[in-house]
Amino acid sequence: MKKIETIVVVGGGTAGCVAALILKSKFPQFHIQLIESTKVGIVGVGESSTEHWAEFCEFIGINQLDAILHCNATFKIGVHYEGWADQDFMHTLGNPYFKQYGSYYGVFGYLIANNCLSKDLCWYHAWENKLGTNYFNDVNDSPTLQYHFDTFALNNFLHRICEERGIEMIQDDLLGATLHEETGDIRSVVSNDREYFADFFIDSTGFSRLLLNKTYGIEWKSYADYLPVNSAFVFPTPEMDEYNKQTKITARNSGWSWTVPTQTRTGNGYVYHDSFIEKDEAHREIEEAYGHSVNIAKQFKYDPGRLEKAWHKNCYAVGLSQSFIEPLEATSIGSVIQQMFCFIHFFPSYDSETCNKYVRDIFDNLLDYVQAHYLVKREDTPFWKEVKFNLKLTSNLQDYLQKWKNRLPLASDIECPWGMFNAANYIQILYGLGWFDVEKIRQEYQFHAPSIEQNILLSLTPEMLTPSFSIGHKTFIKELVKGYYGGF
Say yes or no to pLDDT of 141 above 80: no
Say yes or no to pLDDT of 463 above 70: no
Asked if the peptide bond before residue 261 counts as cis, ω within 30 degrees of 0, the response is no
Cα–Cα distance for residue pair 65/71, rounded to 1 Å: 10
Average pLDDT over residues 96-108: 95
Answer whether 151's CB lies under 8 Å from 44's CB. yes
State residue 139 phi and psi, 5-degree precision.
-65, -20
pLDDT-based confidence at residue 138 (cuts at 50, 70, 90):
low
In the prediction, which pLDDT does 149 show?
A: 93
Segment 9-62, tens digit of pLDDT = 999 999 999 999 999 999 999 999 999 999 876 655 447 899 999 999 999 999
In the prediction, which pLDDT does 355 show?
A: 98
Cα–Cα distance for residue pair 488/481, rounded to 1 Å: 7
Residues making up the chain, counted from first to last:
488
Segment 4-24, tens digit of pLDDT = 999 999 999 999 999 999 999
DSSP 37-90: -SS--------B--THHHHHHHHHT--TTHHHHHS--EEE-EEEEESSSSS-EE
Q: Which of 159, 7, 138 lies closest to 70, judged by CA?
A: 159
Residue 486 CB contacts under 8 Å (≥ 6 apart), including other chains = none
Residue 179 pairs in a beta bridge with 186
Q: Say if residue 444 is exposed, middle or buried (CB neighbours under 10 Å; 0-12, 13-18, 19+).
A: middle
Cα–Cα distance for residue pair 333/48, rounded to 1 Å: 8
The share of the chain scoring above pLDDT 90, in percent, equals: 85
Answer whether 308's CB lies under 8 Å from 2's CB. no
Instruction: List the chain domain ranges.
Output: 6-75+146-225+304-350
Segment 155-185, tens digit of pLDDT = 999 999 999 999 999 999 999 999 999 999 9
Q: Order of strands, edge to edge, in the sheet holding 305-307?
A: 220-222, 305-307, 323-324
C-alpha angle with apex 306: 269 to 154, nearest 5 degrees?
A: 45
Residue 345 CB contacts under 8 Å (≥ 6 apart), including other chains = 355
* DSSP assignment letter at 173: -
In the prediction, which pLDDT does 487 show?
A: 37
Answer whether 42's CB lies under 8 Å from 151's CB. yes
Segment 287-315, tens digit of pLDDT = 999 999 999 999 999 999 999 999 999 99
In the prediction, which pLDDT does 480 show?
A: 83
pLDDT-based confidence at residue 95 (cuts at 50, 70, 90):
confident
Cα–Cα distance for residue pair 89/70, rounded to 1 Å: 31
Superfamily of domain 6-75+146-225+304-350: FAD/NAD(P)-binding domain (3.50.50.60)
| CA distances to 2, 188, 282, 343 from 26, in Å | 17, 24, 45, 11
In the prediction, which pLDDT does 291 show?
A: 97
Can you say whether the dihedral through the CA atoms of 404, 414, 328, 101 is positive or negative?
A: positive
Longest CA pairwise span in the chain (Å)? 74
Residue 33 pairs in a beta bridge with 8, 168
Say yes or no to pLDDT of 485 above 50: no
Average pLDDT over residues 410-435: 97
- The more confidently predicted of residues 125 and 206 is 206
* DSSP assignment letter at 245: S
- The more confidently predicted of residues 426 and 467 is 426
Cα–Cα distance for residue pair 297/264, rounded to 1 Å: 16
Segment 208-264, tens digit of pLDDT = 999 999 999 999 999 999 999 999 999 999 999 999 999 999 999 999 999 999 999
Regarding pTM above 0.85, the answer is yes
In the prediction, which pLDDT does 112 show?
A: 98
Q: Which of 343, 341, 333 lies closest to 366, judged by CA?
A: 333
Answer whether 248's CB lies under 8 Å from 261's CB. no
CA–chain centroid gap for 33, Å, is 26
Answer whether 157's CB lies under 8 Å from 66's CB. yes
In the prediction, which pLDDT does 136 show?
A: 60
Cα–Cα distance for residue pair 23/481, rounded to 1 Å: 30
| CA distances to 82, 253, 292, 434 from 277, in Å | 20, 9, 20, 27
Say yes or no to pLDDT of 2 above 90: no
In the prediction, which pLDDT does 424 show?
A: 96
Q: H helices within 206-346, ranges in order?
A: 279-290, 331-346
Average pLDDT over residues 454-466: 81
Say yes or no to pLDDT of 439 above 60: yes
Residue type, 268: N
Residue 358's H or E segment, with its range, is helix 352-372
pLDDT-based confidence at residue 69 (cuts at 50, 70, 90):
confident
